C-alpha cells in the first residue's frame, strides 16, 4: 500500500505523514502508559502479546526502509555522500555519550550525577 501510495502521491508526502504519525506516537505512547497505571517509562504489554512493539512508533523505520529500497531499486543513491569530517564528528559524539552512559569520563558526568544536579 505504501509503495502504491508513493507512486500516486510522491515520497515527500508519504515521509511527511509518517513523520507526523511518529511524533504523535512519541507524545501519546508515554501518556498511554501512565493512564494504564504504570510509569510512563515502563514497557507496556498488551493482551495481544505483542510485547513492547508500539506499531505507530516503529512504522517510521519501515517507511524509511521502503523509501531506501525504492530509491535503490531505481538505481538512485538514496543519500548524498557525506563529508569525512561529519563521520568523525558523529563517531566522537557517540563516544562522548557512551562515555557519559558508562562513566568513562568521570563520576561527575554519569546519568545519576546529572539527575541529582537537576533536582
Q: Are residues 31 and 6 in the same domain?
A: yes
Q: Are residues 26 and 66 in the same domain?
A: yes
Q: Is residue 79 part of a domain?
A: no
Q: Are residues 54 and 25 in the same domain?
A: yes
Domain count, the chain: 2
Each residue's pLDDT tens digit in the chain (119 positions)?
A: 998 999 899 999 999 999 999 888 877 765 554 444 455 555 555 544 455 567 787 888 999 999 999 988 887 777 778 889 999 999 999 999 888 878 787 777 666 665 666 65
54 C-beta neighbours (distance < 10 Å), count: 18
Handedness of CA 104, 107, 112, 116 (dihedral sign): negative
Q: What is the pTM of this model?
A: 0.53
Q: CA-CA distance, 67 to 52, in Å (whole number)?
A: 25
Contact between 21 and 59 (Cβ < 8 Å): yes
CA atoms within 13 A on the CB side of 51: 1
Amino acid at each position: 500500500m505504501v509503495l502504491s501510495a508513493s507512486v500516486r502521491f510522491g515520497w515527500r508526502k508519504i515521509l511527511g505523514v509518517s513523520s507526523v504519525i511518529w511524533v504523535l506516537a512519541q507524545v501519546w505512547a508515554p501518556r498511554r502508559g501512565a493512564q494504564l497505571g504504570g510509569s510512563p517509562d515502563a514497557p507496556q504489554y498488551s493482551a495481544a502479546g505483542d510485547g513492547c512493539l508500539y506499531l505507530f512508533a516503529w512504522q517510521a523505520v519501515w517507511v524509511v526502509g521502503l523509501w531506501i529500497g525504492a530509491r535503490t531499486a531505481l538505481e538512485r543513491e538514496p543519500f548524498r555522500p557525506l563529508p569525512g569530517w561529519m563521520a568523525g564528528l558523529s563517531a566522537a559524539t557517540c563516544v562522548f555519550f557512551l562515555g557519559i552512559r558508562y562513566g568513562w569520563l568521570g563520576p561527575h558526568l554519569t546519568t545519576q550525577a546529572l539527575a541529582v544536579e537537576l533536582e
